[in-house]
Amino acid sequence: MNLRSERLRGWIWQAALLAAVACAVAWLVGNTLDNLAARGIQVGFGFLGQEAGFAIAQTPVPYSPGDTYARALVTGLANTLIVSVIGIIAATLLGTAIGVARLAGNRLLAGLAGAYVEAVRNVPLLLQLFVWYGILTEWLPPVRQAISLGGVVVMSQRGLRFAWPQAHAGWLAAGLALLLAIVLAFAWRRHAERRRRDTGSAPPVLAVATGLIVGLPVVAWGLAGAPLAIEYPMLRGFDYRGGIAVSPEFAALVIGLSTYTAGFIAEVVRAGLQSVDRGQVDAAKALGLSAGQRLRLVVMPQALRVIVPPLTNQYLNLTKNSSLAVAIGYPDLVSVANTTMNQTGQAIEAMVIVMAVYLTISLAIAFAMNLFEARTRLVER
Q: Over 70: is that where the pLDDT of 7 sits?
A: yes
pLDDT averaged over the chain? 87
What single-letter amino acid sits at 12? I
79 and 17 in a common domain = no
96 and 34 in a common domain = no
Among the listed residues 269, 313, 315, the one whose alpha carbon sits nearest the alpha carbon of residue 295: 269
Q: Model confidence at 1, in pLDDT bands (50, 70, 90)?
A: low
Q: Is residue 58 part of a domain?
A: no
Q: Over 90: is that where the pLDDT of 237 sits?
A: no
19 and 82 in a common domain = no
85 and 19 in a common domain = no
325 and 259 in a common domain = yes
Among the listed residues 301, 293, 292, the one whose alpha carbon sits nearest the alpha carbon of residue 273: 301
Share of the chain above pLDDT 90, in %: 41
Mean of pLDDT values over 348-361 = 91
Q: Is residue 335 part of a domain?
A: yes
97 and 16 in a common domain = no
Q: Over 70: is that where the pLDDT of 381 sits?
A: no
Q: Is residue 178 part of a domain?
A: no
DSSP 260-298: HHHHHHHHHHHHHHHTS-HHHHHHHHHTT--HHHIIIII
79 and 23 in a common domain = no
Q: Is residue 342 part of a domain?
A: yes
| Alpha helices (H) along 167-247 | 169-199, 206-223
Q: Is residue 338 part of a domain?
A: yes
Q: Are 181 and 195 in contact (CB under 8 A)?
A: no
3-state class (DSSP) for residue 158 = coil
Please report the pLDDT score of residue 236 as a whole number.
82
| CATH number where 285 lies | 1.10.3720.10
137 and 10 in a common domain = no
265 and 323 in a common domain = yes
Q: Is residue 309 part of a domain?
A: yes
Q: Is residue 188 part of a domain?
A: no
Q: Over 70: is that where the pLDDT of 338 sits?
A: yes
Q: Over 80: is that where the pLDDT of 302 sits?
A: yes
Residue numbers of the domain that contains 304:
69-141+242-376
Distance CA 135, CA 205 (A): 43
Please report the pLDDT score of residue 319 as a whole number.
94
| More confident site: 377 or 158 | 158
Distance CA 289, CA 309 (A): 29
Among the listed residues 353, 217, 206, the one whose alpha carbon sits nearest the alpha carbon of residue 293: 206
Q: Model confidence at 146, in pLDDT bands (50, 70, 90)?
A: confident
36 and 75 in a common domain = no
Q: Over 60: is that where the pLDDT of 258 sits?
A: yes
Q: Is residue 351 part of a domain?
A: yes
Share of the chain above pLDDT 70, in %: 97
Residue 238 half-sphere exposure toward CB, CA atoms < 13 A:
1
Q: Are 83 and 253 in contact (CB under 8 A)?
A: yes
96 and 23 in a common domain = no
Q: Over 70: is that where the pLDDT of 161 sits?
A: yes
358 and 246 in a common domain = yes
Mean of pLDDT values over 314-324 = 94
Q: Model confidence at 178, in pLDDT bands (50, 70, 90)?
A: very high
Q: Over 90: is that where the pLDDT of 82 sits?
A: yes
Number of domains in the chain: 2
